[in-house]
Structure 1
Amino acid sequence: MSGTNQRINGPRLWDSLMAMAEIGATPKGGVKRLTLTEVDRAGRDQFAQWCREAGLTVRVDEMGNMFARRPGRDPKRKPVLFGSHLDSQPTGGKFDGALGVIAGLEVMRTLQDLNIETEAPLELINWTDEEGSRFGHSLMGSGVWAGIYDQAETYALRDLEGVSVIEALEGIGYKGDHPAKPSEADSYFELHIEQGPILEREGKRIGIVTGGQAQVWYDAALTGQDSHAGTTPPSARRDALLGAARIVNLVDALMRARGEDGRGTVGRLQVFPNSCNVVPGEVRFSVEFRHPSGDEIETLATDFPAQAQAIARELGLALELRELFRIPAQPFDPDCVGLVRDAATRLGLPAREIISGAGHDAIYVARRVPTAMIFTPCKDGLSHNEAESILPEEAADGCQVLFEAVVARANRPA
């Protein structure tokens, strides 16, 4: 890297990432830090301790979103926000989300080390439940903060054990007193691993993220009739799992019809009564579609339910299809994106513009605050997997770009 004498501490960043990865560590080298569990509480406690040691003031809002503030020279200026999330998938990797939070902490530590005072205040954020893997509602904390999800309805969501969001928040002591709604903010930056193969394939060190894909998510429940596997002939069967299989195939076909830009996934499926000698009478599963084009998502939101219902009717099944949310394609702020581009150029890091294929808190924050994202490569594009991996120098490069962009934004003329 070149272009600056104000360098983040790469080894310290890596050591902190590895220390956080010990909280919820799995035997295969990943992490299981499901949101609002005791393991999540341990990660939050460690993060808060590090923030306070760095001289930051920590507050928590009613959704458990954590904000660590560093004052600026001008207290009247709106703060520059940056961050990501510490919760993980059930078999998650060390870097998904955590890189953005811990790199943000390293930005703050470096400013302290170099005795740099920015014009505007800075706030580092750990958003609650970005993954959606426990309560089935991704981007939950940022979604409530941005006014996209109703807080009372979100509090009432329950996990598979029947525990509600509000019970879980109170249970780990992270239901804060501050309102979960947009505060006055200048901008938001988020560093994240790409979670795809493009940067690595092209030998790029930085992804300049210009926006996020459109998405639509569903909860599906197919109901047929439980019956004896040995005595029920084909003509009498109302096999819910057969219907689910055909709908899964439909999801795949609709995805592939849209070429390499198409995304369609059934990632969760529950079969009832789940017995080897009973024809399944009920299946519950998730469905999601993503595409860079909002028009394509609108088409899918019309075509998929109609075709799925037709499959259910043909098999004598009842299909309950509930749309969880629909996210339009979200462009990021050109000025903030420009700061990321300028930083990568100034540092001599090979970079390319890229659309985010994954959902991130930045997608919702962008509806309220000028926003940009920074991507780093990850090995083989693998994420949401315990084998997820990046190099220490890749983490340091992304953190340095974050540092440059945040400081430039915070010091721009009022």
Structure 2
Amino acid sequence: MHTMMLGVNRQRLLKTIEVSASIGATENGGLNRLALTEEDQQMRNQLVEWMLQAGLKVRIDDFGNIYGRRKGKLKDGPVVAVGSHLDTQPCGGRFDGVLGVLSALEAIRVLNEQQLETDYPIEIINFTNEEGARFTPPMLGSGGVAGVFTKEFIYNIKDNNQVSYENALQKINYLGERKHRLKNVKNYLELHVEQGPILEKERKTIGIVEGIQGMSWLTVTVTGETNHAGPTPMEHRRDALVPTAKMISKLHELTKEIAGLKITVGRLEVKPNIANVIPGQVEFTIDIRHKDNDIRSNAIESLKEQLSTIALLNNVDVMITVNWDSDAIEFSSEVMDAVAEACENRGYSAMRLFSGPGHDAKYISKMAPSGMIFVPSVKGISHNENELTLEDDIEKGANVLLHVLYKLSMKK
């Protein structure tokens, strides 16, 4: 059967997404399904049930990643892997990550119904802790199998309640075996919501993702002197919050000087955080991103210099720590061309773009030629209960995934 005749079952896919949306549902229509919680366990159990119903052979690795394997004619041939994640932010949306896993499942269902055997085996993957909302840094499941993080490092990470990653895996009965890790990969493919406004703004249906921006997380600690707000003259104060405000303003000025640079201050802690006490210490985080690794690196050095100068001029101390670095990557031209071909054949409008957020494909690209497909996010909203991708776009994205997955899993 020619792939142009293949199409997903729209209603079945939407129903599958609806079931997911009921597990960890929030009052405002979003999801709260942190990695390795009871809600995550319930969703994992549902996925495993669906995989078994689709005739897939299921296994779990030592990072808790779930695999569903559909055999190919080449029994021991390299696999075409496809997937994403099912964990969410505390007030996350219904499609972030979920769409990639469940659309892959729908693609397998279609191949089964049409009795289409592929040359290469296909493996659907649900990666653990992509979001990093409970265990930091993000993308631990994919980073573990790709060798970016060691098993010891991942297992010893603790959440805010001092529960380790390893113990959390054990508690929900998803601590698998090392021998089950992803290996011998021909290609990796991931469908995801854009999580940004570009596709909607440009009125394009499909994003052909060229790569993923590099990102760094920094922690800045500004230390002054805690004192009483009443008797301490303004000129005698070492208020840590005032220079912090100047630093944050300077960071935003830097984004105007460097095209494409994105900087976010996402967390701010003021100590002692009392109305009539001069703040003695402030700690804040910086998320900095750019698609060019050298530009991002130079920007970090520039901001270090500028923040240190502000601290000196305001008689406070500053300590800047880089907690996490992840370089930019470029995706496979083979996969991008296959996505472009699918869009052209189906008459879907498309454009090429870089991804701002990190995704599991970033790390799996170290193991095999990889690629991503984006579908629009209404108003660019994500990591938010109001996240929305329209049903027509979901169907079209899943059709492109099906087309590309089938193409990659067949010999040329």
Q: Normalized against structure 2, the TM-score is what? A: 0.94
| Separation (CA, whole Å) in 2 of partners of 1:3 and 1:59 | 29
> What is the match of residue 139 of structure 1?
139
Shift in Å, 1:189: 0.3
- The DSSP-based 3-state class of the residue aligned with 2:401 is helix
Q: Tell me which stretches of 4 or more aligned residues in structure 1 moved more than 6 Å.
A: none
Letter of the structure 1 residue corresponding to residue 300 of structure 2: A
> What is the match of residue 219 of structure 1?
219
Is 2:397 the counterpart of 1:406?
no
Letter of the structure 2 residue corresponding to residue 323 of structure 1: V
Change (3 A) 1:169 1:248: farther
- The DSSP-based 3-state class of the residue aligned with 2:5 is coil
Letter of the structure 1 residue corresponding to residue 348 of structure 2: L
Q: Pairwise mapping of residues 76-87 of structure 1 onto structure 2 (< 5 A)?
A: 76-87=76-87
Letter of the structure 1 residue corresponding to residue 255 of structure 2: M
Shift in Å, 1:179: 5.0
Letter of the structure 1 residue corresponding to residue 301 of structure 2: T
Change (3 A) 1:176 1:321: farther
Q: Deviations over 1:343-378 (max 9, x none)?
A: 111111111111112111111111221001000011
> What is the match of residue 178 of structure 1?
178
Shift in Å, 1:157: 2.1
| Separation (CA, whole Å) in 2 of partners of 1:138 and 1:128 | 9
- The DSSP-based 3-state class of the residue aligned with 1:83 is strand
> What is the match of residue 372 of structure 1?
371
> What is the match of residue 344 of structure 2?
345
Q: Deviations over 1:37-84 (max 9, x none)?
A: 222222212111211121112212121111111111111210100111
Is 2:382 the counterpart of 1:383?
yes
| Separation (CA, whole Å) in 1 of partners of 2:223 and 2:37 | 32
- The DSSP-based 3-state class of the residue aligned with 2:4 is coil
Question: Which ranges of structure 2 fall in alignment gaps of 5 or more residues?
Answer: none
> What is the match of residue 199 of structure 1?
199
Letter of the structure 2 residue corresponding to residue 376 of structure 1: V
| Separation (CA, whole Å) in 2 of partners of 1:154 and 1:319 | 30
| Separation (CA, whole Å) in 1 of partners of 2:271 and 2:23 | 34
Contact map agreement 1:130 1:139 (CA 8 A) in 2: yes
> What is the match of residue 247 of structure 2?
247
> What is the match of residue 167 of structure 1?
167
Q: Deviations over 1:289-315 (max 9, x none)?
A: 111222211211221223223333444
Letter of the structure 2 residue corresponding to residue 280 of structure 1: P
| Separation (CA, whole Å) in 2 of partners of 1:99 and 1:160 | 28
Letter of the structure 2 residue corresponding to residue 121 of structure 1: P
> What is the match of residue 48 of structure 2?
48
Q: Normalized against structure 1, the TM-score is what? A: 0.94
Contact map agreement 1:217 1:288 (CA 8 A) in 2: yes
| Separation (CA, whole Å) in 1 of partners of 2:162 and 2:272 | 19
Is the deviation greater in 154-163 or in 47-56? 154-163
> What is the match of residue 70 of structure 1?
70
Q: Pairwise mapping of residues 107-146 of structure 1 onto structure 2 (< 5 A)?
A: 107-146=107-146
Change (3 A) 1:178 1:302: same
Contact map agreement 1:57 1:69 (CA 8 A) in 2: yes
| Separation (CA, whole Å) in 2 of partners of 1:147 and 1:296 | 26
> What is the match of residue 238 of structure 1?
238
| Separation (CA, whole Å) in 2 of partners of 1:360 and 1:256 | 26
- The DSSP-based 3-state class of the residue aligned with 1:159 is coil
Question: Which ranges of structure 1 fall in alignment gaps of 5 or more residues?
Answer: none
| Separation (CA, whole Å) in 1 of partners of 2:155 and 2:219 | 18
Shift in Å, 1:264: 0.5
Change (3 A) 1:155 1:250: farther
| Separation (CA, whole Å) in 1 of partners of 2:401 and 2:193 | 13
Shift in Å, 1:167: 2.4
Contact map agreement 2:30 2:384 (CA 8 A) in 1: yes
> What is the match of residue 57 of structure 1?
57
Aligned residues with identical type, % of pairs: 38
Change (3 A) 1:307 1:174: farther
Q: Deviations over 1:14-59 (max 9, x none)?
A: 1111110111111111111112222222221211121112111221
- The DSSP-based 3-state class of the residue aligned with 1:297 is helix
Q: Deviations over 1:183-220 (max 9, x none)?
A: 11101000001111111122211111111112222133
Contact map agreement 2:66 2:127 (CA 8 A) in 1: yes
| Separation (CA, whole Å) in 2 of partners of 1:322 and 1:181 | 33
| Separation (CA, whole Å) in 2 of partners of 1:246 and 1:143 | 36
Change (3 A) 1:157 1:315: farther
Q: Deviations over 1:133-177 (max 9, x none)?
A: 223312221112211122212222222222222222222222211
Contact map agreement 1:3 1:348 (CA 8 A) in 2: no
Q: Deviations over 1:309-362 (max 9, x none)?
A: 333344444433221222222110111111111111111111111111211111
Contact map agreement 2:127 2:141 (CA 8 A) in 1: yes
Shift in Å, 1:181: 5.7
Q: CA RMSD in A?
A: 1.9
Shift in Å, 1:3: 6.9
- The DSSP-based 3-state class of the residue aligned with 1:141 is helix
